[in-house]
């Protein structure tokens, strides 16, 4: 009960005093009145005040200075700081992990409060979407990704120069822009042309070197995707997320993968790493010019990749049919820009694609 409210035990006629300031917790909503506070709504039953008490209360109200407004509770400013008992949103819960971690970045995005930083909102929402909103799984994957990036330093891997003998012609990134009707539309592709492998031992002999090169190719594509400059957040609907890329794996001329343990090891490690630290970044993945012996690849993928992601995988025996695909209803006329070896009318892959630095 506030100080200005009478009780049955109050003295009959207290000395006049200035009207007391209302206690913030007693007022359910902010008030702009300069008069004394209203009585709390029937907190407890009490006898009616004696005439002397009512008269004294009236005197107090009359003598309250009219020119001195009473202190008011804090007003809402539009950005509320959560109180200790306020519910924490899933994004804020994930942000706590990022804020406490030593590594400040994911996919080229310097992480900040997702409430005000759209690129961070996109990154964290992808982890939620990848795990169907499961907070325990999302937190675990996010922490693993931060730890992996701190240890691996993928942004540094982009700057490295790789062996042309080992990796020349094996991986490209292409960017396909929309027309004048939709200038913002663009699609990013990564291409792995395993038919260009000259020596299994040379290319896959050093597993960590192969993984570093493969990560550099992926990070190069993410730089083109440029989530760090995004201005539109994403929702919990993963199918409505535009910040994703296409991948093409070309196995034309490949006849060794079923027998080569080095290639199996490289494939397994790549699938495991990418599923863990690059969630919800794949639109669709095309395996073109696939020989029948490639069935074992799908067995590995099902072990590490979410079922929803597996549905995005499309094996094709003839790579020239790639340009006929719908590509998820893309707004870009990809049949006009894809390389001719894949059924498009654009420049060949070596001409229009970019590779990690080679020497």
Residue finishing a domain among 107, 125, 152: 152
- Measured in whole angstroms, the distance separating CA 246 from the mean position of its chain's CA atoms is 18
Residue finishing a domain among 15, 35, 70: 70
Cα separation, 65 vs 50, whole angstroms: 25
Secondary structure, 3-state, 30-68: CCCCCCCCCCCCCCCCCCCCCHHHHHHHHHHHHHCCCCC
Residue 315's pLDDT band (cuts 50, 70, 90)? confident
pLDDT at 65: 45
pLDDT at 154: 98
Counting DSSP H helices and E strands in the chain, the numbers are 13, 7
Residues 30 and 104 occupy one common structural domain: no
Cα separation, 266 vs 51, whole angstroms: 93
On whether residue 76 sits in a domain, the answer given is: no
Residues 6 and 133 occupy one common structural domain: no
Residue finishing a domain among 109, 136, 152: 152
**What is the dihedral angle through the alpha carbons of 128, 132, 136, 142, rounded to the nearest 10 degrees?**
-30
C-beta separation of 274 from 217 below 8 A: no
pLDDT at 257: 52
Q: Give me the percent of the chain exceeding a pLDDT of 70.
A: 69
CATH number at residue 239: 3.40.525.10
Residues 19 and 113 occupy one common structural domain: no
On whether residue 85 sits in a domain, the answer given is: no
Residues 211 and 141 occupy one common structural domain: no
Burial of 77 from C-beta contacts in 10 A (0-12 / 13-18 / 19+): exposed
pLDDT at 256: 54
Residues 44 and 169 occupy one common structural domain: no
Cα separation, 228 vs 244, whole angstroms: 13
Find the domain containing 203 and state its range: 154-352
Which H/E stretch holds residue 208?
A: helix 207-225
Among 12-16, 101-105, 186-190, 335-339, the minimum mean pLDDT is found in: 12-16
Residues 193 and 333 occupy one common structural domain: yes
Residues 27 and 61 occupy one common structural domain: yes
pLDDT at 95: 98
Nearest to 351 by CA among 174, 188, 165: 174
Number of domains in the chain: 3
Classify residue 95 by its DSSP letter.
Answer: H
Please compute Rg for the chain using Cα positions: 32
Residues 279 and 138 occupy one common structural domain: no
Structure tokens at 37: 């506070």
The mean pLDDT of 283-311, rounded to a whole number, is 73
Cα separation, 204 vs 264, whole angstroms: 10
Residue 75's pLDDT band (cuts 50, 70, 90)? very low
pLDDT at 42: 46
Q: Which residue has the tokens 């008269």?
A: 55
**What is the dihedral angle through the alpha carbons of 242, 123, 189, 358, rounded to the nearest 10 degrees?**
160
Q: What angle do CA 219, 337, 243 make, to 5 degrees?
A: 35
Nearest to 71 by CA among 23, 26, 28: 23
Residues 176 and 286 occupy one common structural domain: yes
Residues 194 and 319 occupy one common structural domain: yes
pLDDT at 299: 60
On whether residue 22 sits in a domain, the answer given is: yes
Cβ neighbours for 239, distance < 8 A, ≥ 6 positions apart: none
Q: Tens digits of per-residue pLDDT, 319-341?
A: 999 999 999 889 899 999 999 99
Q: What length is written for the chain?
A: 359
- The pLDDT of residue 276 is above 70: yes
pLDDT at 86: 56
Residues 216 and 343 occupy one common structural domain: yes
Q: Is the pTM of this model over 0.75?
A: no
On whether residue 75 sits in a domain, the answer given is: no
Cα separation, 6 vs 52, whole angstroms: 11
Q: Which residue has the tokens 């969630």?
A: 279
The phi, psi pair for 191, rounded to 5°, reads -125, 130
């Amino acid at each position: 009960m506030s100080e200005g409210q009478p009780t049955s035990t109050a003295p009959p006629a207290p000395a006049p005093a200035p009207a007391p300031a209302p206690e913030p917790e007693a007022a359910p909503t902010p008030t702009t009145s300069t008069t004394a506070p209203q009585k709390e709504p029937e907190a407890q039953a009490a006898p009616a005040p004696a005439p002397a008490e009512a008269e004294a209360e009236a005197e107090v109200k009359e003598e309250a200075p009219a020119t001195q407004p009473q202190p008011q509770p804090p007003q809402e400013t539009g950005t509320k700081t959560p109180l200790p008992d306020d519910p924490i949103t899933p994004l804020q819960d994930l942000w706590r992990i990022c804020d406490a971690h030593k590594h400040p970045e994911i996919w080229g995005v310097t992480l900040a409060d997702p409430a005000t930083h759209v690129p961070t909102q996109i990154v964290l929402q992808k982890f939620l979407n990848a795990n169907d909103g499961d907070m325990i799984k999302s937190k675990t994957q996010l922490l693993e990704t931060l730890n992996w990036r701190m240890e691996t330093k993928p942004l540094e891997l982009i700057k490295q120069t790789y062996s042309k003998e080992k990796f020349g012609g094996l991986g490209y990134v292409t960017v396909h822009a929309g027309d004048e009707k939709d200038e913002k539309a663009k699609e990013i592709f990564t291409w792995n042309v395993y038919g260009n492998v000259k020596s299994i031992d040379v290319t896959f002999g050093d597993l960590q070197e192969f993984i570093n090169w493969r990560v550099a190719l992926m990070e190069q594509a993410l730089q083109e995707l440029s989530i760090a400059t995004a201005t539109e957040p994403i929702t919990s609907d993963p199918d409505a997320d535009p910040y994703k890329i296409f991948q093409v794996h070309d196995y034309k001329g490949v006849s060794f993968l079923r027998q080569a343990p080095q290639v199996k090891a490289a494939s397994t490690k790549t699938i495991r790493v990418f599923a863990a630290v690059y969630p919800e970044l794949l639109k669709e993945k095309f395996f073109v010019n696939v020989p029948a012996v490639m069935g074992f690849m799908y067995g590995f993928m099902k072990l590490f990749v979410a079922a929803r992601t597996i549905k995005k995988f499309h094996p094709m025996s003839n790579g020239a049919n790639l340009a006929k695909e719908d590509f998820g209803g893309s707004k870009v006329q990809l049949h006009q820009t894809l390389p001719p070896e894949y059924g498009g009318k654009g420049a060949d892959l070596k001409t229009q694609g970019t590779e990690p630095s080679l020497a």
